[in-house]
Structure 1
Amino acid sequence: MMSKKSKDSLINVSKNEVWKHDLDSSNFETNDINEATSLLLDSYKTYNGRQFLNDDDLNCLLPSDKIELERSTLSYLLMRHRWKGNFCSPVKEKLNTSGTTILDIGCGSGLWAIDMGLNHPSSSIIAIDIDPFKFPSSDRCPPNVCFLTCNAIYGIPFPQNTFDFVNISMMWSVFSEAQWILVIKELVRVLKHDGWIEFTEPDPMVRNRGKKLTWLLECFSKACQEIRDVNVHIHEKIPNYIKEMDELKDLTCMSVDYPLGGWYGCFGDYALKNFKRVFQGLVFLPKYMEMSDEEFNGLLNGCLEEANKNKAFFTIYKCFAKKVSGEVSII
């Protein structure tokens, strides 16, 4: 039987427990390591050669493997370049004040959190993700950045009014609409009065698209909704979710276009490659479209040629809002 300390060292994502390291304990048994390894391997499943998190409560559309980690890294670098920074909320002055706290949801490889930690050494950054194996090693992190294993749909493990700034970016492929509402309520709960929350999500419906890309995107949208209950057009809903919350005010929405293809130079070429990798990760899509993998790859390549020829682009939106002050006026 596993010792209690060994059980505590495992990652229980659904209960949002922190991964603890206790290898110095004299009670740590060799067979515990084997059992722990087995349980961690059970955290994943393989489908069409790609690795996915193995949890029935998850709606994640994209894989959780090295290939996806590399794609999401490219996505982050493109985002930072296109937006000329890591945030648009009016918090720059606050972030350079000692004691400021930042929360990053769905941090992935943690590049956003690391950049923020380096650029704003007076702030403390907590970055959370459901998959801890994406986290960078401690020697790659500034001292003011911490990573935590957490599934946000079960709640954020912090008291109310904890963070000055909350960031949630490119989570379109993760939550159902019902889960989005739960998560947003939790994020507002842990946000301080007068703190800011910022959302960054894409509109997947590429403009200047041809017939092939139109068909692909329509099938993609339907498949995500029918198979995983995920609305990939969540960028349309987020402003309304914010408006419906009495705790938030000063909503601002901004957008930036992302050109797809070499017609726009190096950026467009990389953006198109990233776009292709997203669809390569949607391994359920060929079956939904009643196509073989070979036929699907042919269609995808045709779509990319079409996008480049038509000078296609898509748009990414940012919405940010402020939590109302907790002060009560006395008349």
Structure 2
Amino acid sequence: MTFVPPDIGPPWARPLAGRLDVHAIDSPALRGNALGDPHVRPLAVYVPPGAEDAGALPVIYVIQGFTGQLDRWAARSTLRPTYLELVDDLFADPAVPRALVAHVDAWTSIGGSQFVDSPATGRYATYLCEDVVSFVDAHYATRADRDHRGIAGKSSGGYGAMVNAMLRPDVFGALATHAGDACFETCYLHDEAASVRALRESYDGSWENFLADLRSRPAMSKGTDGDILNSYAMAACYSADPDGTVHHPIDPATGVLDDEVWARWQAWDPVRMAPRHAEALRSMRAIWIDAGTRDEWFLDLGAQAFRDACETAGATVTHFELFDAGHGGIEYRYPLALRHLAERLAAATFR
């Protein structure tokens, strides 16, 4: 995951206080997925220093944002430590409870999976909750129950953390969401409008024409690629029929919102899911919610709405914060939530 020999030193590389184990998982859930994407996936498990003497450990599952893939966790931004170095710095502090941090790859050839099961993408919730979790429990000394498992992510990863904690409280007992997709009317509809305009101008209103063009050239080389790809992927996750047919909430020919398709999207909105999964939310040992006040997708509004929905459901939000930032460059927030989850998951009892 690096071009630099580890002994060359900072700022290019440095030895970790802990270690990073990289595995390949052959996922039954992803075999035969509709996109033909690989069913063998990488998994990177960070093992903190002192783990060997700490006994069975909690596990925090970290999931990626849209268009992410596993190797990008090692990327370095200008004048900043990498995400993995930040995690290592966190657990180099002996005051932080020991926990394993498992980094899950849910890349798809349309940018992402939202960590849900969909006939148009694949069974990514099952892959995460069954295949990955069982692999980690089989290969490490873990405290293998939901009260000692957490899930965390940013953006689409934050969405996956919220949704899978609600849908699978038997698997996860704590969550952290950084600017996770929520309050769909504020975070998605402007992208949908931009996509319809771009389809009209460049692709004769056809999603298929866009996908064919995207695959014929370097991806993301046109300014409209991001909006259209995001819109297509969300529809593939939220409003696909059992046969894999993808329906879109805005008709590219007319620009009119399709109320029936939009209702299918809203059913997947964490804010609207919360009342239906109130018991699961009340069972969480930790709920961390944060977002930047200048988030370009207005996910600070989604964070507020999800916090309010959790509290209305009777759940305890153990940390909520809006901080001065946009959507990108907030990797420095991840260790704060990881520490919070580690402390709550390591506790013998829950209050």
| Structure of greater Rg | 1
Tell me which interval the TM-score lies in, with the shorter structure as reference length. 0.3 to 0.5
More strand by share: 1
TM-score, normalization by structure 2: 0.34
